[in-house]
């Protein structure tokens, strides 16, 4: 009998460790999330190179240097605890806005061995994109202490570009660059550490980045192509989770006073109301 009960005990312990929301008390196992964020784009580790062939047999060797920039965003949504699951602790969905921006510098050197000093042209491009974003997430939370937990999240996001600006000073060279589609659909991963501030408020600092891009299809790459470089977005979020308060219970009130001839179960003369 003891051996048979071990799997049940282990399962219950796993459920308890996986459950960060109260099962009793004055608060529901659902609530609101508010996530202000800083966004950061990061260029590739290895700079891109290109060889340009111009009319008149001129050849330029171009080196591109992608530079990331910091921007901002915010999301607001709802979360719900998932009962009886050892893998998923809660799900959430949210709407918001976020900005992604970056820059690209280039250095173009004329391929002319007859020149004593190299002929070099330098320029720069900058972009700034604002997106309306919607996301859906499934999170696993594991308690580290009574008030601290580790959160791992897999989710999907759809981003629609609502405004943008870009400039590129190409110094007269025929430099052509890529530009992302107006709508982007991705899967992303997030990891964070949650801290319980009070009975109904938790804060979760986390970092999020795409892992697959489904649309616009580009060999499922998780980075975004802008100009002649690829940029990886990182979202540094500070998520506040606020549990809903349970509705207060009130005793039922009687709209009309009971007549003197009426008892609790019917009329005093024995005539029943049913």
pLDDT of residue 192: 98
Judged by average pLDDT, the poorest of 15-24, 130-139, 227-236 is 15-24
Reported as a pLDDT band with limits 50, 70 and 90, residue 256 is: low
pTM: 0.82
Architecture of the domain delimited by 25-43+67-103+127-246: Beta Barrel (2.40)
**How crowded is residue 46: how many other Cβ atoms within 10 Å of its Cβ?**
6
* Helix ranges (DSSP H) in 102-192: none
pLDDT in tens, 116-168: 888 999 999 999 999 999 999 999 999 999 999 999 999 999 999 999 999 99
Reported as a pLDDT band with limits 50, 70 and 90, residue 210 is: very high
Reported as a pLDDT band with limits 50, 70 and 90, residue 274 is: very low
Cβ–Cβ under 8 Å, residues 148 and 193: yes
pLDDT in tens, 96-117: 999 999 999 999 999 988 788 8
Nearest C-alpha neighbor of 175 from the set 245, 123, 233: 123
Distance in angstroms (rounded) separating the CA atoms of residues 110 and 51? 10
Cβ–Cβ under 8 Å, residues 125 and 168: yes
Distance in angstroms (rounded) separating the CA atoms of residues 144 and 105? 45
pLDDT of residue 101: 97
Cβ–Cβ under 8 Å, residues 27 and 196: no
pLDDT in tens, 66-80: 999 999 999 999 999
Q: Above 90 in pLDDT, residue 212?
A: yes
Cβ–Cβ under 8 Å, residues 27 and 245: yes
Listed by start position, the domains of the chain span 25-43+67-103+127-246
């Amino acid at each position: 009998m003891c051996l048979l009960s071990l799997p049940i005990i282990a399962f219950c312990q796993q459920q308890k460790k996986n459950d960060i929301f109260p099962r009793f008390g004055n608060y529901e196992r659902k609530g609101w999330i508010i996530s202000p964020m800083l966004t950061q784009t990061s260029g590739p580790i290895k700079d891109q190179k290109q060889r340009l062939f111009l009319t008149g047999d001129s050849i330029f060797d171009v080196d591109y240097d992608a530079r990331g920039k910091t921007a901002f965003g915010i999301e607001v949504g709802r979360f719900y605890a998932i009962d009886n699951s050892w893998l998923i602790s809660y799900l959430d969905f949210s709407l918001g806005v976020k900005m992604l921006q970056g820059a690209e510098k280039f250095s173009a050197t004329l391929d002319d061995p007859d020149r004593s000093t190299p002929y070099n042209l330098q320029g720069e491009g900058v972009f700034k994109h604002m997106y309306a974003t919607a996301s859906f997430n499934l999170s696993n939370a594991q308690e580290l202490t009574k008030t601290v937990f580790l959160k791992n999240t897999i989710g999907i996001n759809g981003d629609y570009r609502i405004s943008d600006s870009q400039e590129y000073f190409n110094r007269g060279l025929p430099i052509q660059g890529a530009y992302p589609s107006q709508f982007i659909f991705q899967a992303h991963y997030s990891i964070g550490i949650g801290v319980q501030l009070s009975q109904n408020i938790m804060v979760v600092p986390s970092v999020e980045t795409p892992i697959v891009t489904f649309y616009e299809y580009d060999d499922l790459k998780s980075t975004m192509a802008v100009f002649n470089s690829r940029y990886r977005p990182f979202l540094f979020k500070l998520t506040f989770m606020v549990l809903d308060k349970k509705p207060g219970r009130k005793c039922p009130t009687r709209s009309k006073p009971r007549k003197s001839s009426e008892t609790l179960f019917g009329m005093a003369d024995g005539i029943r109301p049913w």
